[in-house]
Each structure stands twice: as structure tokens, then as C-alpha cells.
Amino acid sequence: MKLVSHWIDGASAVTGGRTSDVFNPATGAVSGQADLADEATVDRAVEAAKRAFPAWRDTSLVKRTQILFRFRELLDQNRDALAERITAEHGKVHADALGEVARGLEVVEFACGIPHLLKGGFSENVSTSVDSFSLRQPLGVVGGITPFNFPAMVPMWMFPVAIACGNTFVLKPSERDPSASLLIAELWQRAGLPDGVFNVVQGDKVAVDRLLTHPDVKAVSFVGSTPIARYVYETGTAHGKRVQALGGAKNHMLVLPDADLDLVADSAVSAGFGSAGERCMAISVVLAVDPIGDDLVSKIAERTRKIKVGAGDDPASEMGALVTKVHRDKVASYLDLGEGKIVVDGRENLPEGGGFWLGPTVIDHVPAGSRTHREEIFGPVLSIVRVSSYEEGVELINSGEYGNGTAIFTNDGGAARRFQNEVEVGMIGVNVPIPVPMAFYSFGGWKASLFGDTHVHGTEGVHFYTRGKVVTSRWLDPSHGGVNLGFPTNR
Ligand code: NAD
């Protein structure tokens, strides 16, 4: 049985204690075990990162960038291999896994521009013969803790920028799909990254808690569910660390009566059921403004019934299995609540065998404020909530717990502008169902979807992984001699 190890100081490492099962979601079989780090293993990874930091910080920007470019090329050449690892443990279809690799690669490309991104400001003669300039310097050892649903892309939101800025990194991937992280580590090594700059510890709460409390870890980036994001933020900041913790989501699509309903139905089905709804930017609620509800639901249902559910490595499949049986059963439990009318039932017509199957499900007339409407289900369940007006729709979005993504579908530019102004959500789509920002913008939600002040990647990512310094300098000449105890002024 495959044992998924850690990667510390440029080599694989095993704790040899607790393990957790890794599954093939399409068959339900156990395909391997993740070695779960104990505190001593995390300490070894942090020590390796700490040892590597001074030399990496002092490596010239040109040299760092050359390594990033080589890493980018190797990732590009290994897209398929990485996607295969993702599909085998996560269950998403190969095309979708390739998509996640592509979006992660874009962050590496963004990080290749680090010499420009780290430029400071310079002011000559701020006082007589005195110059001032600003610097941004790396923090030291930083940690990344990531969720199961994007085992390559979410870590790549973090480490390319962190490493480009001169930090050293310890990644703690999800124990449910841990293998992609090791291929990434090998590619870094082949790209010429010095040992200890990028490390991986497989693990669970034990490893997370050690990273959050270790005195040598200066900052932690987290992506996962809201309760854990809140815990990570509170624990990490209480231990003096800089923390950005991205949480869960419940994303609404508001459909105004003037929208093109075929475009809306295509978009809602793609955004609701891509990756089996296991995306933090998935659309899980469609708010249909009267009187379009019946027409829209029939178009959505017609498309949903045609989706081909099957093994992620079968090119004919459009939607794969869910990640684990526990998660599949939790998602399916929402269908038993009796909230609304099930129009397409994902419990029917499933592939045979022991895979963690649940087909795409559409529930109409979901009551506003019900559990199905409000809670993050994180699976292939699309709820339709009927509303009487734009205002009622915005009120439902803004009164929710989360603020990750949302979309409006309309041909009315004025309504779209009003929406982007009024809605309390971090990422907005206008006739775009999954408005994931490009790597050179920053990704992050509002309210319970993000704890901390900075979003990930883009310039906010560069700011998160660096801190500012301002130098005020004067090169003395003899005419400036003499003691003066007064506070320096410009007089
Ligand atoms: P999760 O919160 O269960 O796990 C995330 C990470 O935290 C994993 O590495 C896990 O090992 C660790 N963890 C789990 N329980 C812990 C505990 N008690 N103490 C300390 N660490 C713990 O999330 P998940 O199920 O892997 O991922 C799905 C969730 O992630 C969804 O809620 C989804 O919305 C969210 N997500 C959010 C974004 C975003 O950008 N906001 C992106 C992707 C996923």
C-alpha cells in the first residue's frame, strides 16, 4: 500500500506513527495512506526552513526568478501527471484537474514578475542631503494549510508568491488528497530550489496546531471551512503570527427577468456541478426574480439530466464522485430535509460499484432562510429560491453568513452597477458565474469567508508575505558636524 510521505530539506521523510486512509473516490477503495506528522516532524520541517532562510533571502532577485521560470516550465510539462494524481485522490474529472493546474500555474507566472513587484519607493532630498527609501523584506518561515478541494491550485495561491518574496515555506496539504504536494516538491528540486526552501508535512490537527504555535513560524495562510478558518486565525494571531484564513462559502446567482435564460441555465449548471460542487466559488443558490422561475427551472433541469456522472479518469465523464463517503453522505442528507421540491434527484441513476456517488441535484422552491438555503453543502446540490424583486435578492445575499462570491445575470448595465456597489461579497461576477480573479488580482471573500486583512496572491499576496521598512540616509560631510539634541525638523 502506498504511503504518502513528508518532504523535508529536499528529501522524503516518514514519521512512522499515525496514518489516515486515502481513497479512490470512483471505486471507494483505499488507495494509500497519508503519514500523519507528529510535532517532532513539524519541528524538523520548520528547522529545515529556518536554516534555509538566510541564504534564500539573500539570493539575488535575478537568480530567484530564474528558478521560478524553470519551475514554471516543469509544471507546464507535468500538467497531466499532476492532474492524474488529483483525479485519483479527489475524484474530479481529468479536464477539471487540468483546469486547476492551469490556474495555479498562472500564480507561478505572476510570481515570475517578483523583481518588479518588490520595487520600493525612493525620495531624494527629503531633508537637506537626506534621502528616504522603502523596502519590502521577507518574513522568514511561513506555513500554508490547504483544503481537499484544490490540492494543487490552492497551495499554488500561496507558495509561489511566498518563495518569490524570499521566504521559506512549510505546506500542510489536506490529508484526503496529499500526493500532488510531493510531485510539486520534486519539481521545485529539479528547478534548482535549494533544499529546505519548500517543505511538506502531511498531517491533521496535530500538524496544524504545531504550525500555529511554533515560535519560528512567522505567518500562516489557511484555506478551508469557516469553523477551522476562525480557529486558525484566532490561534495563530494569539501566538503572534500574521494570518490570512479563507473560509467557506454559499454563493448566490441573482437572475433578473431581462437575462438570457439559456445563457443563465448553461452558467448555473456549469457553476453548480463542476467539480461536483466541491468548489468554494461554486454557485449553490439561484435567486430567480419573478416571473422567470418556472422557465428557468425547466431549462436548468433539462441540462442537469444530461450530465454524465462517472470515474474521473474516464474521458466521457463530466462529473466525478465526491471525495469521501462521509462527505457524500453529509451532502446527501440535505435531500432528506424536505426543504423545497426535488426536481432532479442525484440519488437516482448512479454508476455501479462502491464509489462515493451523488448525481447533480436541483431543488426548486427552497424556502429562504432554510438550512438548504443558508448552509454550505459543498456538493452537487443547486437550490432555486424564488424572489419577487432585485431588492429581495440582494437582501438575501447580504443577510447570509458568507461573502465569498456572487453573480448577477442581466442585460441592464445600471442594475449590474448597483449590484456591484450594494452587495457585501468579495468577488462579483456580472454575467460571469465563477468570478475567480486572475493571479495578478487578489482572491478572497468577506464576512465568514475570510479572517484577516489580506486576500491571497496579487499585490495583497506580496504584502502578506513581506513587511515594510523605510530607510532614511545621509552621507555626512564635515560641514554637518556638531551635537544637536533637538527633535529633527525640516526648518
Ligand atoms: P477543512 O476545514 O476540513 O480542512 C482544511 C485544512 O484544515 C486541512 O488541511 C485539514 O487537515 C485542516 N483541519 C481540519 N480540521 C482541523 C482541525 N480541527 N484543526 C486544525 N486543522 C484542521 O476543509 P476541507 O473540507 O478540506 O475543504 C472544504 C472547505 O474549504 C469548504 O468549506 C470550502 O468552502 C473551503 N474552501 C474555501 C476556499 C476559499 O477561497 N474561501 C477555497 C477552497 C475551499
**CATH classification of the domain holding 393:** 3.40.309.10
Contacts for 235 with CB less than 8 Å, ≥ 6 apart? 209, 212, 213
Contacts for 84 with CB less than 8 Å, ≥ 6 apart? 94, 97, 313
CB–CB of 365/340 below 8 Å? yes
Q: Is there an atom of ligand 1 within 6 Å of 204 CB?
A: yes
Residue 490 falls inside a structural domain = no
Contacts 24+ apart (CB under 8 A), 188-192: 188/71, 189/10, 190/70, 190/74, 191/67, 191/68, 191/70, 191/71, 191/73, 191/74, 192/66, 192/67, 192/70
The reported pLDDT for the residue numbered 250 is 98
CB–CB of 293/287 below 8 Å? no
Taking each helix axis from N to C terminus, what angle separates 61-77 and 180-191, rounded to the nearest 10 degrees?
Answer: 130
The reported pLDDT for the residue numbered 1 is 85
C-alpha–C-alpha distance, residues 251 and 199, integer Å: 34
C-alpha–C-alpha distance, residues 122 and 418, integer Å: 40
Among 381, 400, 430, give the residue marking a domain's end.
Answer: 430
C-alpha–C-alpha distance, residues 13 and 412, integer Å: 57
Q: What's 152's DSSP letter? A: T
Whose Cα sits closest to atom 10 in ligand 1?
174
Same domain, 147 and 168: yes
Q: Is there an atom of ligand 1 within 6 Å of 223 CB?
A: yes
Q: 3-state SS string over 423-455?
A: CCCCEEEECCCCCCCCCCCCECCEECCEECCCC
Q: In this structure, are strands 168-172 and 141-145 parallel, antiparallel, or unpaired?
A: parallel
Contacts for 129 with CB less than 8 Å, ≥ 6 apart? 474, 475, 477, 480
Same domain, 270 and 257: yes
Q: Which helix (H) or strand (E) holds 233?
A: helix 226-238
The Cα-based distances of 198 to 54, 207, 460, 475 in angstroms read 14, 16, 21, 40
Residue 376 structural domain: 251-430
Q: CATH no. for residue 466? A: 3.40.605.10
Which residue type is seen at 379? G
Task: Give the position of cell 476562525.
Answer: 230
Task: Give the position of cell 452597477.
Answer: 417
Residue 449, all three cell numbers:
469567508
Residue 119 falls inside a structural domain = yes
Mutate to test the pocket of ligand 1, among 4, 204, 455 (most ligand atoms within 8 A of CB): 204
Residue 485 falls inside a structural domain = no
CA 147 / ligand 1 centre spacing (Å)? 4
C-alpha–C-alpha distance, residues 479 and 113, integer Å: 44
Same domain, 235 and 264: no
CA 224 / ligand 1 centre spacing (Å)? 3
Residue 442 falls inside a structural domain = no
Same domain, 120 and 144: yes
CA 381 / ligand 1 centre spacing (Å)? 19
Residue 479 falls inside a structural domain = no
CA 29 / ligand 1 centre spacing (Å)? 23
Same domain, 113 and 171: yes
Same domain, 187 and 331: no
Please state the atom number of ligand 1 nearest to the C-alpha of residue 444.
Answer: 40
C-alpha–C-alpha distance, residues 445 and 425, integer Å: 6
**How many domains does the chain fold into?**
2
Whose Cα sits closest to atom 17 in ligand 1?
205
For the chain, the residue count is 491
Which residues are annotated as catalytic?
A: 280
Contacts 24+ apart (CB under 8 A), 238-244: 239/212, 239/213, 239/215, 241/212, 241/217, 242/139, 242/218, 242/464, 243/219, 243/451, 243/452, 244/220, 244/444, 244/450, 244/451, 244/452, 244/453, 244/454, 244/455, 244/456, 244/464
Q: Block means of pLDDT (10 residues each) for the chain, length 491 residues?
A: 96 96 98 98 98 98 98 98 98 98 98 97 95 98 98 98 99 98 98 98 98 98 98 98 98 98 98 98 98 98 98 98 98 98 97 96 98 98 98 98 98 98 98 97 98 97 98 82 78 61
C-alpha–C-alpha distance, residues 257 and 388, integer Å: 10
Dihedral pair phi/psi, residue 53, rounded to 5°: -60, -50
Residue 459 falls inside a structural domain = yes
C-alpha–C-alpha distance, residues 389 and 17, integer Å: 57
Same domain, 168 and 264: no
Please state the atom number of ligand 1 nearest to the C-alpha of residue 456.
Answer: 40
CB–CB of 165/218 below 8 Å? no
Percentage helix, strand, coil for the chain under 3-state DSSP, each rounded to 5? 40, 25, 40
The reported pLDDT for the residue numbered 91 is 98
Same domain, 268 and 133: no
Mutate to test the pocket of ligand 1, among 22, 154, 223, 235 (most ligand atoms within 8 A of CB): 223
Residue 477 falls inside a structural domain = no
Same domain, 465 and 362: no
Q: In this structure, are strands 198-200 and 168-172 parallel, antiparallel, or unpaired?
A: parallel
Q: Is there an atom of ligand 1 within 6 Å of 271 CB?
A: no
Same domain, 243 and 255: no
Same domain, 419 and 285: yes
**DSSP string of 265-312, one letter each residue:** HHHHHHHHHGGGG--TT-EEEEEEETTSHHHHHHHHHHHHHT--B--T
C-alpha–C-alpha distance, residues 406 and 402, integer Å: 10
Q: Is there an atom of ligand 1 within 6 Å of 406 CB?
A: no
C-alpha–C-alpha distance, residues 451 and 241, integer Å: 13
Mutate to test the pocket of ligand 1, among 170, 208, 460 (most ligand atoms within 8 A of CB): 208
Same domain, 203 and 266: no
Residue 95 falls inside a structural domain = yes
CA 146 / ligand 1 centre spacing (Å)? 6
